Amino acid sequence: MWDKIKSTLKLIIPFVKTKHFWKHFGLVLLFYLVMVFANILYLDFATNHGEKIAVPNLVGLSSQKAKQRIETLDLTYQILDSIYDPKLPEGTVVEQLVEPTSLSQVYVKSGRVIGLRLSKRNQLVEMPSLLHKQIQFAQSILEQRGLRFIIQYQPTAEANGSVLDQRYKGRRIKEGDPLPIGSVVTLLVGQNDEDEPIVLPNLLGLTMSEARLIFDTLGVSAYTFICPDCLTSQDSAAARIFSQSPEYLEGTTVFKSTQFILSMQKGGDGQNP
């Protein structure tokens, strides 16, 4: 075995000593050094080596001002999502990714994407299906979802007191359609009452006797007063209405046979407790 190694070395050593070998070895070494140097230059250029941009604090700015500041610094932005906050103007930056350099001590390079989360004042809820449901049940469902309603009665021989149609801003709205909280939904309710409709009275802040006087004047006989904290007749007489069903909305009409439910509180002033 050693004889084979010695014979191989006798062949290699003379070749290594030739100019031909050292010429090609130098070319290979030079090519390697050029490639390493070129890669270093490319990485410096591609990664903006040595560039440091301080990320500003954008929280509290409007989306337009935040975009302008980001673009001025040669950065880019992406709107991640919106967060419901009725206390802030629409489109205010409530969160940013990456955090400002003043807090994180982290600098970025040009072209870095800054994620923004913006405020929105309207929280959406899904519209339920109220068709063929009794009006009292439909009202409670809407109230639970933060929606308001106007009742419009439509003469019908059947489905008395049931919802025949549901509309928003004049158009029919289906189950699952998104609506901003606080939206006013119009409910078309079947009514076989032949009486003329009356304008829905605003009873908030009135006493029981004052509300009864209005009902007598309008010819309404179906109403119920609820006052959980009224212990005596004097308490009931002094209590005031803070909530009514149907809810008062200007321009709403009802029939005289409509059932009114009036919630009262002792010593109240008509404001929600």
Do residues 186 and 250 make contact, with C-beta atoms less than 8 angstroms apart? no
Q: Name the nearest CA neighbour of 239 among 209, 268, 210.
A: 268
Residues 148 and 177 both lie in one domain: yes
Q: For residue 17, tell me if it sits in a domain.
A: no
Residues 167 and 92 both lie in one domain: no
Residues 199 and 94 both lie in one domain: no
CATH of the domain at 195: 3.30.10.20
Q: For residue 3, tell me if it sits in a domain.
A: no
Q: Domain end: 76, 95, 120, which one?
A: 120
């955090």: which residue's tokens?
99
Q: For residue 99, tell me if it sits in a domain.
A: yes
User: What is the pairing mode between strands 178-180 and 124-126?
Assistant: antiparallel
Domain count, the chain: 2
Q: For residue 180, tell me if it sits in a domain.
A: yes
Residues 96 and 201 both lie in one domain: no
Residues 99 and 178 both lie in one domain: no
Residues 243 and 184 both lie in one domain: yes
Residues 166 and 116 both lie in one domain: no
User: What is the pairing mode between strands 93-97 and 113-120?
Assistant: antiparallel
Q: Domain end: 98, 120, 142, which one?
A: 120
Q: Note the pLDDT of residue 209.
A: 93
Residues 130 and 252 both lie in one domain: yes
Query: Any idea what the Cα angle at residue 227 is, between residues 221 and 228, rounded to 5°?
Result: 140
Q: Name the nearest CA neighbour of 236 among 272, 200, 271, 211.
A: 211
Residue-wise pLDDT tens for the chain (273 aa)?
666 666 665 666 665 667 766 777 677 777 777 777 666 665 555 555 557 889 999 999 999 999 999 999 989 999 988 888 878 888 999 999 989 988 888 888 888 999 999 998 778 889 999 998 888 888 889 988 889 888 887 877 666 778 899 999 889 999 999 898 888 999 988 877 556 678 899 999 999 999 999 998 888 878 889 888 888 888 888 999 999 988 888 888 887 777 888 999 987 655 555
Domain that includes residue 66, residue range: 53-120
User: What residues pair up with 95 in beta bridges, in sequence order?
Assistant: 117
Q: For residue 135, tell me if it sits in a domain.
A: yes
Question: Which residues fall within 8 angstroms of residue 76, CB to CB, at 6 or more apart?
Answer: 70, 111, 112, 113, 114
